[in-house]
Amino acid sequence: MARRLGASQYLYAKAEAMTDQFRIKIAQLNPTVGDLQGNAAKAKQAWLQGAEQGSDFVTLPEMFITGYNTQDLVMKPAFQNDAMNAVRELAKECADGPALGIGGPWVEDGALFNAYFILNGGDIQTIVKKHHLPNETVFDEVRIFEPGQVSGPYVINGVRIGSPVCEDAWHSDVVETLEETGAEFLFIPNGSPYYRGKLDVRLNLMVSRVVESGLPLIYLNLTGGQDDQIFDGCSFALNPGGELAAMLPMFEESITELILNRTDQGWRIADTLKSKIPDQLEADYHAMTIALRDYCAKSGFGKVLLGLSGGVDSALVATIAADALGAENVRCIMLPSEYTSDESLTDAKDMAENLGCRYDYLPIAEGRAAITNTLAPLFEGTNPDLTEENIQSRLRGLLLMAVSNKFGEMLLTTGNKSEVAVGYATIYGDMAGGYNPIKDLYKTRVFDICRWRNEQHRDWMRGPAGAVIPANIIEKPPSAELRPDQKDSDSLPDYYVLDGILTILVDQDGSIDDCVAAGFPKEDALRVQHLLYISEYKRFQSAPGARLSPKAFWLDRRYPIVNRWRER
């Protein structure tokens, strides 16, 4: 074990011995919102590694002490005080060793700031206050925080470091000020959640910052799932000119030391770990797996269950659950009616056996008969319609929730984004559940992901390798099986048409004319628009699910429940 120095001895020794080299340990870790002690313990463990290995500076991401995204929790004064006290206590515990950087809230003169703290020698040496506050997609920081003044660099062991906090680095003015006031390199703490293609956006923006400033740049991001958001990590380092010096893994915790060497042209980051970034299908699948794993872990569920219908959506959710938690922690229940085909019964059982999950068979005929008899006096003289179809779905929801309550297993719901968008789901029926891993995945992409998972296996998957999803599940026409010979296409446009229209109307905020220009029939576009708007009340009551796009249903896209406007 390395000899421990007192704070003043440590700082003096580092300043003397490392004038031409600076060692920064970046900790890409997974905090939990509200777990102040647990997050502080993670930070201290990273700091201890840095102290033992001779680091100059150990860093954690934005708002790490509280976890992120805190939403309105951080506006509660008692929470603010606890968070600030946790930072002060961490400073005392990490007095004898390297400086420690960590994000958290800060209250000053009655104003609340998103701040980044530099802890050194047992105290808070510097507080950097975030200046540009994002007010888009999942972020409401303009409503929550006050903008901080742009400040100059801080000094650690004689080196001047500039730290734009997350959004501050997306704008050129903060970096320009730091460069003009003598920053020698940029360290950027972030809480940047995943969406498809987000890493390319970050890299392009940060290359712009290093080209403009001529300074090396280190970008540290959170990782892990929090509610609907997934932080993908992918922390990286760039040298002047935009050359990549380091890339940390996607969706994994990683503590990595970066070494900066002083040259005649200024500081340069030595090449180190450059993790391979997965393709888009793998990234989405990993995101959904991490989202479910962390949602369960952070909310206290060790086991899950779902209704396994023999269809492609529930098959994919079961596979995600097995990969997230292990097959031994997943229960699949088939709840057949007289409309359930023999094909679906076989496919569901094969699916559960392929995964190694528990499989239960629970017919709904007896319960359905009892409900039908109970309602008969009120329904006398009416014809069977959608009401009776939905009774089947709601009965299944009741039974699944009963099993969830009895055994403490969280119920997963299985509606894809196409169904969630147009309300092709039964509220209080198949929408019942605590989490929906595929909520932001269009149906056409569900098929693509299923094929990908059958052909691939990764170390982070806890389920078995191989073609776990039977080919027949992927290939057969989708059906809710609530009436004889039912097909989804009886009620909806073909999914490639539906998903194309929804991509324009939802993801691109496009118009009916845009749909027509893309080649879709106007009558289909008008019909999908109508279904989209009248289903808002269902989405308002739906389970949270993994966010994969910048237009996921919940915080990204917020529409009124009652809305009579329609584009004609």
CA pair distance 337, 318, nearest whole angstrom: 21
- Of 94, 166, 332, 515, catalytic: 166
- Of 14, 25, 129, 130, catalytic: 130
CA pair distance 235, 218, nearest whole angstrom: 8
- Of 62, 179, 184, 409, catalytic: 62
Strand, coil or helix: what is 465?
coil
Residues 137-161 as b/e (b if ≥16 CB within 10 A, e otherwise) read bbbbbeebbbbbebbebbbbbebeb
Strand, coil or helix: what is 282?
helix
Strand, coil or helix: what is 414?
coil
Task: Give the residue from 79, 142, 126, 71 showing the smallest Cα distance to 107.
Answer: 79
Q: How far apart are the first and last CA of the chain?
A: 73
CA pair distance 263, 97, nearest whole angstrom: 26
Q: Are 18 and 56 in contact (CB under 8 A)?
A: yes
Q: Is 228 exposed, middle or buried (0-12, 13-18, 19+ CB in 10 A)?
A: buried
* 234 in catalytic set: no
Q: Are 119 and 89 in contact (CB under 8 A)?
A: no
Sequence length of the chain is: 568
- Cβ-proximal residues to 377 (8 Å cutoff; 6+ apart), any chain: none
* 166 in catalytic set: yes
* 129 in catalytic set: no
Q: Residue 494, Cβ neighbours under 10 Å: how many? A: 13
Task: Give catalytic residue positions.
Answer: 62, 130, 166
